[in-house]
Amino acid sequence: MRSSTFFTLLSAITSVVASHEPPPNVPRSIEEFRQKYPYKTKGNSHRKVVKIRSSRNETDDVSNEFKAGLKRANHGGTLYLPKNELFIIGKPLDLTFLDDVQVHWDGEVKFTNDTPYWQANAFTHPFQKSIMFWKWGGKDIKIYGEGVLNGNGQRWWNEFAGREVLDPNNEYLRPILFYAENATNFEMQGIHEKDSPCWTNFIVTSKGISFSDVIVTAESNNASSLPKNTDFFDSLNVEDLTVKRAWVNIGDDCFSPKSNASNVHVDTMYCNGTHGQSMGSLGQYAGEMSFVKDVVIENVWLLNGQHGARLKTWAGPDVGYGFIDNVTFRNFYQANNEYSAFIDSCYFNIDTETCAEYPSMMNLTNISFENFTGYTSGKYGLAVAKLTCSTNPNAVCENITFKNFNITSPCDGEPVIICDGIKGDTGVDCVSSNSTEAIAALSKTCSVPLATVSPSF
């Protein structure tokens, strides 16, 4: 499910779900997000300031000047990109040499949309055949301001329409908007990341990563070519990650750390039209061990999307192994999502027979869903959560618990939670997917309008 309109929240649909009221002062547009969380410049005034020329038009490539500016600002300086100025990037940039550098980013950086050129010349990473416009890296890097990083994604979405990024036969690769590798102490503050062709951020083999007060949007002007795989955040081998105050209106995961993430804290996120707050996917590659551990995601609003809190692990004949441990989803408000909590142990597009023959080899332990309120879309009837653990006898699935879980369905009846394969007490009444209760609950489907806000913020 996807909405390209501004972020919205259902206040009261009295004819359907009369009891639901939104939390107070919930922003419903970028402007209201900035009003609620005003961003103020957070650089250091004593640093040397470097300026570069801006682009004269949409084809005036200043890639060389951008890289040269960062080299001049390196080791203690600040590259300044002024408001109302445009900086066109038309070739890949290796920016992995950075050391104690800041970018005061109030203007707009925009990539060209020459899809054949970028597919032939972009940097690459083997994980899910990733390609990227540029790569950042080094230590003590801060990007801050109220500027825009524009991926110019519409052409990419148009040409990708009907394809799947995880299809092994897919050869149409799309660049990631922001990529960093081997970064230590990296911060991004205030930036509006806009219209990424594929993932918005991909951080690899890095430590001490922080995003705050960021805005992330991907909105299409073509109803038959919507943004796809435009996740706000993906990672590989990342430790000590913080995300605070983010506005996300995209077409895929709102947040999605992948293999080998630890010590992660997300606090205050508004997500519209996304696939949810996801752990993974994990276990994709044969023989590889992957994990996510020690994660807290709290104070999240999820609207008009696929799922809410989600964990996804691969199954099949050639997959990896590992674990997800100590993950807390806390203080979630949801409106018009399919399942509010969802464990998928048969990712990606694995049929029932194959999953049964080659179940996931990922352990899931110590997962908590706390203080959930709101309602589902009714797509799955009265079923508001579905947790399906692996049937692999060697895969552990235990201490998966609910606390203050108050999600309802807009359909007529009491909400039902479906659980399969969980060891121990979940804290709520769960029924198996093949039970009479689950089958009946899933059959009572209905629908609700897109979530909207009233009264005004």
Residues 6 or more apart in contact with residue 99 via CB below 8 angstroms: 74, 75, 138, 139, 140
- In which domain, by residue range, is 208 found? 49-242
Question: Cis bond leading into 457, ω under 30°?
Answer: no
Q: Please indicate, yes or no, if residue 44 is contained in any of the structural domains.
A: no
- Claim to verify: residue 433 and residue 385 sit in the same structural domain: yes
Domain CATH number, residue 320: 2.160.20.10
- Claim to verify: residue 81 and residue 219 sit in the same structural domain: yes
Other CB atoms within 10 A of residue 330 CB: 18
And the tokens for 199? 């993932």
Q: Rounded to two decimals, what is the model's pTM?
A: 0.94
Q: Please indicate, yes or no, if residue 22 is contained in any of the structural domains.
A: yes
Q: How many domains does the chain have?
A: 2
If we measure between CA atoms, which residue out of 228, 381, 368, 227 comes closest to residue 309? Answer: 368
- Claim to verify: residue 222 and residue 293 sit in the same structural domain: no
- Claim to verify: residue 352 and residue 427 sit in the same structural domain: yes
Q: Please indicate, yes or no, if residue 365 is contained in any of the structural domains.
A: yes
Q: Which residues are 337's β-sheet partners?
A: 376
**Which of 185, 207, 242 is the last residue before a domain boundary?**
242
Q: Are the CB atoms for 310 and 277 separated by under 8 Å?
A: yes
- Claim to verify: residue 122 and residue 231 sit in the same structural domain: yes
Q: Please indicate, yes or no, if residue 427 is contained in any of the structural domains.
A: yes
Kindly write down the DSSP assignment for every residue of 299-354, as one continuous string.
EEEEESSSEEEEEEEE-SSS--EEEEEEEEEEEEEEEEESEEEEEEEEETT--HHH
- Claim to verify: residue 29 and residue 53 sit in the same structural domain: no
- Claim to verify: residue 191 and residue 258 sit in the same structural domain: no
Q: Please indicate, yes or no, if residue 408 is contained in any of the structural domains.
A: yes
Q: Are the CB atoms for 270 and 33 separated by under 8 Å?
A: yes
Can you tell me the distance from the alpha carbon of 444 to that of 37, in angstroms, rounded to the nearest whole number? 40
- pLDDT tens for the chain, 457 residues long, are 343 433 444 333 323 333 344 556 788 789 999 999 988 877 777 999 999 999 999 999 999 999 999 999 999 999 999 999 999 999 999 999 999 999 999 999 999 999 999 999 999 999 999 999 999 999 999 999 999 999 999 999 999 999 999 999 999 999 999 999 999 999 999 999 999 999 999 999 999 999 999 999 999 999 999 999 999 999 999 999 999 999 999 989 999 999 999 999 999 999 999 999 999 999 999 999 999 999 999 999 999 999 999 999 999 999 999 999 999 999 999 999 999 999 999 999 899 999 999 999 999 999 999 999 999 999 999 999 999 999 999 999 999 999 999 999 999 999 999 999 999 999 999 999 999 999 999 999 999 998 864 433 2
- Claim to verify: residue 426 and residue 322 sit in the same structural domain: yes
Q: Please indicate, yes or no, if residue 301 is contained in any of the structural domains.
A: yes
Return the active site residues. Answer: 252, 275
Q: Please indicate, yes or no, if residue 79 is contained in any of the structural domains.
A: yes
- Claim to verify: residue 145 and residue 294 sit in the same structural domain: no
- Claim to verify: residue 434 and residue 307 sit in the same structural domain: yes
